[in-house]
Amino acid sequence: MKPCMKPVLASVVFGILTLVVLFPAAPARADIYRYTDDNGVMHITNLPTSPDYKLWIKERRVIIRAGIDMTKYGPLIQKASDRYKVDYSLVKAVIKAESNFNHRAVSPKGAQGLMQLMPKTASTLQVRDSFEPESNIEGGVKYLRYLMNVYNGHLPLALAAYNAGEKAVARYGGIPPYAETQGYVRRVMALYKQYSKEPKEGRTAIVSMRPEVVSD
């Protein structure tokens, strides 16, 4: 049987590579199983249906994670960022720094939700439920846009005001000398730079390597 199986093996391997490259997100299993029945006929499949099938070819794979968006809020962020002309990556950075993408987060001072809106601010922004992701993101991005306009696009000042309030920024004529606020501005700016280098939509690509024959 071995000599006549070589063309089959080549065909199978080519099929695996084609399937994985063209459809990297497909959940199909690429390991190949086989068994020989009582009539000497060899059966080959990537989805074994009985214990008679034994692993024959194990696919070696490299998982490449390209700009994975760790949140499930991407479409909501995109919608709000488009509406208020605030960079997607900046919104994502603020959410990461504020709540680490926890829509139920509450700060010791009472700020709530993904973008940590204070109840009074949320009311002004007409956000009825700060724990509802879409409403919170909508309100938070709207507020961020407002602050960016107030400070003529000076992002560090806008972020400082987001964290400490406009009055604090006005009092000190710049970023307040609060350790929390200064650390917050640095962190958001660093996250913004990091996220700006990544694709907006996270995808996982599977690149097939040379198949490994487990058994003959």
> Which residue would you say has higher pLDDT here, 96 or 200?
96
Q: CB of 19 within 8 A of CB of 30?
A: yes
Strand spans (E) along the chain: 32-36, 42-45, 54-58, 61-66, 203-208, 212-213
pLDDT at 200: 67
The residues, ordered by sequence, that sit 6+ positions from 7 with a Cβ below 8 Å of its Cβ are none
Mean pLDDT across the chain: 80
If phi > 0 it is left, if psi is from -120 to 50 it is alpha, else beta; for residue 126 that is left
Residue type, 6: K
Statement: 74-196 belongs to CATH 1.10.530.10 = yes
Instruction: Give strand pairing partners of 112.
Output: 106, 117
Point out the residues that are catalytic: 98
Q: What is the pLDDT of residues 11-20, one digit of tens each?
A: 444 344 333 3
pLDDT band at 213 (very low <50, low <70, confident <90, very high): low
Residue type, 146: Y
pLDDT at 43: 82
> Which residue would you say has higher pLDDT here, 28 or 89?
89
Give the angle 139-140-146 at the CA atoms, nearest 5°.
90
pLDDT at 13: 40
Q: Where in the chain is the domain with CATH 1.10.530.10?
A: 74-196
Model pTM above 0.85: no
Residue given tokens 């900046």 in the structure block: 90
